[in-house]
Structure 1
Amino acid sequence: MDTQSLILALGEASHAGRTFNVMPVAGEEPVLQIVVSGAEETPVYLTITDTQILCLVYLFEEREIRSGQLADLHENMLRLSVPMPLSSLGKVDQHYVVYGALTPTSSEAEVMQELVTLADNAIDLLQTFEDFLD
């Protein structure tokens, strides 16, 4: 699967009653910003390499964590990471993220399922972590 065919497929598709607004992001690597209907506040960023399709949502920045709450936040992240379907937690620079990866041979339906699941998981995580953030 390549970026261009994914743009075309998602632009005309729906999955589980959800639609996708796909916009290329300017930069060195081809990245798509995908807004899943019903989860507009958590856009998914997708990139395709030879080895994976990586989907990522930025949750919050390190500077947004309440003073003295970092250890408790990390503990909660570790506890939630296992039962959260199709998603993992991580950190990119100063940003906490939730992400999922697929094989480049994944079907369009599998990619759409990942996008919907990841966007919904991001919303749930933001609600879960709101007590740790300013």
Structure 2
Amino acid sequence: MRVLVIGGGGREHAIAHACARHGHEVLCTPGNPGIAAHARLIDSPQDTPTLARLAQQEGADLVIVGPEAYRPPAWSTSAPPWASPPSAPPAPPAASKGTRPGVRRSCSATASPPPRTTPSATSRPRWTTPRPSRPPSS
């Protein structure tokens, strides 16, 4: 399978490495020197219509778009009719990812158990309660 990876960061490097490790032919634009070890780098303008044409010209079976700058709505409004829509839904706002209510919402949405709560820094955990002193054994 011929895979075109769009982007040049660490995420795209990992994607290119994984695809190459599984025997796929990997193309990348713009890429970086680390990605060049796993993929053929293509120098191309980074606007959406040009990237869509590049994917068609190179015969890419799969296009993986790394940077968020190329994701919908820009990609979906200018993609040619033969291009399939993005396979991943847009990510939820980043502000809710690490908050306790956000984690609980995502756990309940996926039917997975919520994380166990731990004592806060101001509370005194039970295991540090002083124990009564014992007389020395003889």
TM-score range, shorter chain: under 0.3
TM-score by length of 2: 0.27
**Larger Rg: 1 or 2?**
2
Q: Give the structure, 1 or 2, with the largest relative contact order (CA under 8 Å, sep 6 or more).
A: 1
TM-score by length of 1: 0.27
